[in-house]
Amino acid sequence: MNENILGIVAGVLTSISMIPQLIKVIREKNVEDISLVMLLILISGLSLWVWYGFKKEELPIILSNAFAVLVNISLLICYMLYRKS
């Protein structure tokens, strides 16, 4: 398979993977079993992948990780809204 197509398919899958989680959280308004540390580390790591993508000039890496950062920041906002303190 062509490298770029492979990268784009891989990128689309890992980018959209958190969307079902986000929908579930918005629908159920419950974040008890989700780890805040996971979200914080993930957002930091994904942001560095965006930077890596720019350095390597690889569009699949930039786009997929930038999108994943947005989804995970939305999940973080939901976490803050719905957690029981």
Of 26, 37, 67, 81, the one binding a copy of itself by CB under 8 A = 37
Single residue of 17, 77, 81, 83 touching a copy of itself by CB under 8 A: 17
Cα–Cα distance between 82 and 52 in angstroms, integer?
33
Q: Is residue 30 at the binding interface for a copy of itself, with CB under 8 A as the rule?
A: yes
Q: Does 84 bind a copy of itself (CB under 8 A)?
A: no
| Per-position x/- string for 53-72, each x denoting binding to a copy of itself as judged by CB under 8 A, each - no binding | --xx---x------------
**Cβ 58 vs Cβ 3: under 8 Å:** no
Instruction: Measure the CA–CA gap between 67 and 35, rounded to whole angstroms.
Output: 20
Q: Which residue has the tokens 């969307």?
A: 19
